[in-house]
Amino acid sequence: MTDRPIVRLRPKADARRIRWGFPWIRSDELVLDRRTKALPAGSIVDLEDAERTPLATVALTPASRLPARVLDAPGTEIDADWISARLARAAVMRDRLYDRPFYRLAHAEADGLPGVIVDRFGDTAVIQPNAAWAEVRIDDFVTALRDLGIDRIVKSASGRARAAEGLDDVSETLVGEMDGPIPVEMNGATYFADLTGGQKTGLFYDQRPNHAFVARLSRGARVLDVFSHVGGFALAALAGGAQSAVAVDGSAAALDLARRGAEVGGVSDRFETRRSDAFDAMADLAGETFDVVIADPPAFAPSKSALTNGLRAYERVARLAAALVAPGGYLTLCSCSHAAGLEKFRAASIRGIGRAGRGAQILRTGGAGPDHPIHPQLGESGYLKALTFRLF
């Protein structure tokens, strides 16, 4: 064992969960005495159960709602070599799955790096250190990423969890210089990812398999992509042979990037963008129909406290979008809300479709691609839901 600080579970806390691989310890499960509260955020400590049996090596942020995050077995040294090994292990799997290094390289707890997101764009990466232990070791992450052949590294501080960890919201370029958005080829389409000014890491790799499925449905179809971001489903549909596609988003910058993607892909003559609030746009389109409609909104229910209102918003999206689908056409509804599980999201979607007076059958239930693995003890790591319906 090391001579690191020791923290302990409360007597009534269930130590079996930790032994079986659960990665979080809540504040009501941990003895947070004056000594523990005085430890700096991001400290690496040894966790013991109430009987002083070693349980795990954890990262500690005493003031957080999740003060301890499991990193490894008891007594493990968490240093630059450990971080390098974890990232290398993650890269091996992605390089087996994808022909080119454009993917999510590290998916937080599911890759044994709690609170850490890394998206790779060839020789460039965006890292989101959403936990204090990673923030204070950012130099070790930079070294490890450079060892993987990554020459430009951007730190995104846009993650919601950073505030709870006592971290700032200042993003910066850590290594190299960014000279504009990066082109990314997926499913036959080209997207442009703004790594310094776009949403989150600049591109949503998680939707890759859902883009591909919708593209197959879109051959010869008229497509409406609502909450489109940088072209999302619309560009994939056009690459798959759609007759036309309309992308709706509230961000002018995102739609500019979508148009660049359409131009590079040679489909700009079949592509239209509309800058608008998505709900307003769907209401304004009432009376028009499309063969394929997709709605991929932001997280309406990012927390349990937002769940009720979030489900109402998903129901409203479903109602408005369903009204725009031609008879026999297809509707894909997505949710990236951690708090809204699949059953609740599906129920809200079905209610909305029913309120639009439409009959439906579910064709497919999708999630994120395999570069977004799911931690077997943490359902939240499987956050993305994509439901495709055929409407009558």
- According to DSSP, the residues that pair with 173 across neighbouring strands are 154
Q: Which of 116, 237, 336, 353 is catalytic?
A: 336
Largest distance between two CA atoms of the chain: 70
Q: Which helix (H) or strand (E) holds 152?
A: strand 152-155
Residue 180 burial (CB count, 10 A): 9
**C-alpha separations of 190 from 81, 253, 314 in Å:** 36, 16, 29
Q: Are 184 and 190 in contact (CB under 8 A)?
A: yes
Torsion of CA 193, 196, 201, 204, to 10 degrees: -20
Tokens 């109402």 — which residue?
Answer: 312
Q: Are 226 and 321 in contact (CB under 8 A)?
A: yes
**C-alpha separations of 198 from 173, 192, 204, 252 in Å:** 14, 10, 11, 11
Of how many residues is the chain composed?
392
What is the phi/psi pair of residue 120, to 5°?
A: -110, 135
- According to DSSP, the residues that pair with 30 across neighbouring strands are 9
For this structure, is 336 an active site residue? yes
Residue 331 burial (CB count, 10 A): 27
Rounded to whole angstroms, how far apart are CA atoms 317 and 359? 16
The residues annotated as belonging to the active site are: 336
